[in-house]
Copies of this chain bind each other. A is one copy, B any other.
Amino acid sequence: MSLEKVADFLTQHDNYDILTHAYPDGDTLGSGYALCLALQQIGKNARVITTNLPGDFEFLLDGVKKQSFDAQTVVSVDIASEQLLGCNKERYSGRIDLCVDHHEINRVEAAVKHVESDAAANCEILYRLFRLMKLDITKQIANCLYTGISTDTGCFRYTNTTAETLRIAADLLELGADTEYINKVMFETKTKKKIALEREIYDTIEYCCGDKCAIIFVTLEMKKKLNVSDDELEGLASIPRQIEGVLVGITMRERDEGGFKVSVRSDSHVNAAEFCARFGGGGHAAAAGCTVKGSLDEAKAKLISEIEDFI
């Protein structure tokens, strides 16, 4: 459906629950709070539904009114599949009316669906939507959109960054986005815990495919020892891919319920989404995920065997 249809839908409905995905990142949260601010600006009731809000993202709440209402309309932002709703899945599954997303493969069922897989971030789509709706893109909205765009592009380093991405970022900077604060919090600050975690992670690096693939892992035991939460593990996935000569970086995170959550990051020679599809997962060409069952050694052996076959 066209962006015009999305604009029409938003003006014609009211009382919005805006859904973000579990293990929330800057793009889903930036999208959620930007859309919430935009809807409140045009006189609608709206709230953002999250599984949790990591501390780094609390500034996104600035200017968002707490409204009390019965939800009538459910919108999902940056959500590729209802499986990603986490603890909100049961409540909202099958109830999504509007889906706005930028994932290559989107499995959400919604009456109105707008997916642009060439947008670097879902917040890029929202920026164009707000322009189309002639909304006032306030400093707060600009902060939310810049957060989504900068985090989903690794601050414009990743290959999903287009000329349009950079021009939207330029507009947002002029609209007052506090890029100094956002860049510092998102890209320049490391907690002491994170440093301790990286140190441990460095000891787990294992290479395969003639050093073209690097694998790291975090076990429940490591998490307990370092006292880190799942949120604090975000960002680890970029570590193995950064190593000189590595085309595919695989990050394994042991799950409470057993097995491993696997994040795959790759350069343009290797399609991460296709690789993850072998394990029933999905995502983008350069960044995808899946789940692998078994013990650490078993799961790692499966991944290594598949990646050696795949490359």
Contact = CB atoms under 8 A, between A and B. Distances in A.
A67 interface: no
A164 B155 CA distance: 16
A57 interface: no
A2 interface: no
A72 to B, nearest CB: 39
Nearest to A180: B159
A66 interface: no
A171 B167 CA distance: 9
Interface stretch (A16-24, A44-52, A194-202): A194-202
A199 B23 CA distance: 27
A243 B195 contact: yes
Contacts of A163: 170-171, 173-174
A8 to B, nearest CB: 30
A128 B154 CA distance: 27
A156 B156 CA distance: 7
Contacts of A159: 179-180
A202 B192 contact: no
Nearest to A214: B192
Interface in A182-201: 183-184, 187-192, 195-196, 198-199
A205 interface: yes
Contacts of A187: 157
29 contacts: A155-B157, A156-B169, A157-B183, A157-B187, A157-B188, A158-B183, A159-B179, A161-B173, A162-B173, A163-B173, A163-B174, A164-B170, A166-B169, A167-B167, A170-B170, A180-B267, A184-B267, A188-B242, A189-B242, A189-B243, A190-B242, A192-B243, A195-B202, A195-B205, A195-B243, A196-B202, A198-B198, A198-B202, A199-B202
